[in-house]
Amino acid sequence: MVTMTDDDAALRQRAWEVAASVVDPEIPVLSIADLGVLRDVVLDGDHVEVAITPTYSGCPAMNMIALEIEVALERAGFHHPKVRTVLSPAWTTDWMTEDGRRKLRAYGIAPPQAASSRRALFGAQAVACPQCGSDKTELLSEFGSTSCKALWRCKACREPFDYFKCH
């Protein structure tokens, strides 16, 4: 049985932190760790492999994310890193960190609701406005500024906003 040494664990942690620092090109306030896209970092000798899961099939940002991970790892001294896309299990908004949800809200995007939300139970959705906090909001379009967002409007402050769709 092969066990990881303290040096290996520290190196893996360093590789994880470097990969985790890569931001989503569509929502630059979020790192791929905030999104839950970063799934694993594996060391094999002096090689590092990073596993990522796209937020949805065909996400155009994934190629850029993979390239940015490779560049970040190369700059940090990891030679010839490999990025592997993992499709199963499928990504879910439940993988987003609480810090990521807070960052979305501060950026003006309503974060996704948890799977145990009212929507999951009754098919009804009440999305709080990220500007004023009101839950008096309405869906304008299932399609927002990117494929993973929907366009909503607040009835209280009258401001439009994106809502990060649940997956």
**pLDDT attached to residue 46:** 77
**pLDDT attached to residue 116:** 47
Where is 12: in which H helix or E strand?
A: helix 6-20
**pLDDT attached to residue 115:** 57
Domains and CATH numbers, the chain: 6-91 (3.30.300.130), 97-164 (no CATH)
Read off the pLDDT of each residue in 139-163 and give the average, rounded to a whole number.
Answer: 90
Residue 155 backbone phi and psi in degrees, to 5: -80, -20
Q: Which of 29-38, 70-79, 92-101, 119-128 comes out lowest in average pLDDT?
A: 119-128
- pTM of the predicted model as reported, rounded to 2 decimal places: 0.79
Q: How many CB atoms lie within 10 A of CB 72?
A: 19
Q: Is the pLDDT of residue 122 over 60?
A: no
| Sequence-distant (≥ 6) Cβ neighbours of residue 69 within 8 angstroms | 19, 22, 32, 50, 52, 81, 83
Alpha-helical runs (H) found in 21-145: 32-35, 61-75, 98-107, 118-122
How do residues 106-116 score in pLDDT, each as one tens digit?
999 999 876 54
How do residues 62-105 score in pLDDT, each as one tens digit?
999 999 999 999 999 999 999 999 999 999 999 999 999 999 99
